Amino acid sequence: MPAKSKDSRPGGRSARVRAAVHRAVVDLVQEAGADKVTIPAVARRAGVNPSSVYRRWGTASALLADVAARRQDEETPELVGDLRQDLERVAVWTLTDLSRPGGVAFFRAEVAPDVDDRKAGLRACLERVSARFRAPLEAAARRGETTPSLERVLDRVVAPLYFRVVFSIPGTDESFARGLVAELCDAVDAGAAGMARGQR
Amino acid sequence: MPAKSKDSRPGGRSARVRAAVHRAVVDLVQEAGADKVTIPAVARRAGVNPSSVYRRWGTASALLADVAARRQDEETPELVGDLRQDLERVAVWTLTDLSRPGGVAFFRAEVAPDVDDRKAGLRACLERVSARFRAPLEAAARRGETTPSLERVLDRVVAPLYFRVVFSIPGTDESFARGLVAELCDAVDAGAAGMARGQR
């Protein structure tokens, strides 16, 4: 079979441009920081025409948000069907994602670009992190288990991880992330046991 | 007594310039966002010479950090001598400070300016919030009470407040802040009671 040009496949060229642009953004954020990412710099690095980048993403903030969205969606851990284990895996994955070079930079990019884009970026960022934790919570609820609310998970697991990574607090590792989940689940179990005693 | 020119008093003119510059920064952040604050814009607004602003603060980030430091230090609540009440008051005060117009903008200014200034700004920001909570914790420890560690307070009270204000999560009010403190103190008290039973 003769080698076909990738450009002739539907989406082939477009997908390659997107991949090259995303890689350029990740590299530039790691080297210079999210605030130094501009569309001309990204286009130069990716070897594509700036006008295609403007046409597709419009602004540097929109581009950063798209890259952040892509990073957050890839490699989400599979559910194993046990609430603690599933929450622990998502918590560890969230920490790993935030901790890798550029991880917080991408979070910051969503928090700190132009005033106009900020609200939409923040909503998207919160929605993505919520979706990741919502999956194991809903699966456990379908199994009839008592679960913490999503808000409790955000307050007790996600908020400390974000805060500690943003402020570089030492000791913020996998076992710390698992500990946050364990403590929350222990409190939920103790509450459920207390309710059961009360109903007897 | 004849009215003396304020400029002849030591520090008088300097203090007035600082106040005018700080007020200009607060106004500009509220109107346009922290990322739009530049030294020339601040000087124009404050009616002072840009060169005095450059000489005194050097960069817009350093100026924003100075304003943020000043805002965080003023009006810290007095200690009443009861750990729960004192932690509640500091928590509510922290939430109020973050929630007023420009409050998170000042936090963001410390998190997101030039890469070079970022680490110092973050350390200063964490140190200030820590100092506010350290005061009631140390006072309670001197009274011989069992207290949570400062890290626990950061994870369980400060992190959720920051996270919720940054992401505009509804229901983040004074009673929510008090609830975070109550829950943490209940856990500490339950732990202390358990230890006491174990020692009997």
Average pLDDT for A125-129: 82
A163 vs B156: CB contact, 8 Å cut-off? no
Contact A98, A161 (CB under 8 A): yes
What's the pLDDT band for A171 if we cut at 50, 70, 90? very high
Q: Which tens digit of pLDDT belongs to each residue from A70-94?
A: 766 666 778 899 999 999 999 998 8
Q: Which tens digit of pLDDT belongs to each residue from B76-102?
A: 778 899 999 999 999 998 898 777 666
Residue whose C-alpha is closest to residue A154's, from A130, A178, A125, A185? A130
Residue showing tokens 């140390």: B138
Least confident of A62-71, A106-115, B92-101, B138-147: A106-115
Average pLDDT for A168-186: 94
A164 vs B156: CB contact, 8 Å cut-off? no
Closest residue in chain B to residue A36, using alpha carbons only = B114
Residue-level pLDDT at B85 = 95
Q: Which residues of B touch A167 (CB under 8 A)?
A: 122, 125-126
Q: Which residues of B touch A115 (CB under 8 A)?
A: 32-33, 35
Asked if A186 reaches chain B (Cβ–Cβ under 8 Å), the answer is no
The phi and psi torsions of B11 (rounded to 5 degrees) equal 80, -10
Residue-level pLDDT at B53 = 93
Touching A: B residues 10-39, CB under 8 Å: 32-33, 35
Q: Which residues of B touch A121 (CB under 8 A)?
A: none
Residue bearing the bigger pLDDT, A128 or A44: A44
Helices marked H in chain A — which ranges? 12-32, 39-46, 50-57, 60-73, 83-99, 103-111, 115-142, 150-153, 159-166, 174-199
ipTM for the complex shown: 0.72
DSSP letter string, B82-144 = -HHHHHHHHHHHHHHHHHSTTHHHHHHHHHSS-HHHHHHHHHHHHHHHHHHHHHHHHHHHHTT
Q: Which tens digit of pLDDT belongs to each residue from A4-31?
A: 444 445 568 888 899 899 999 888 887 7
A33 vs B115: CB contact, 8 Å cut-off? yes
B160 vs A162: CB contact, 8 Å cut-off? no
Note the Cα B96 to chain centre separation in Å: 10
DSSP A75: T
Asked if B182 reaches chain A (Cβ–Cβ under 8 Å), the answer is no
Residue bearing the bigger pLDDT, A112 or A54: A54
Average pLDDT for A190-200: 73
Domains along chain A?
A: 12-58 (1.10.10.60), 75-199 (1.10.357.10)
Residue-level pLDDT at B197 = 72
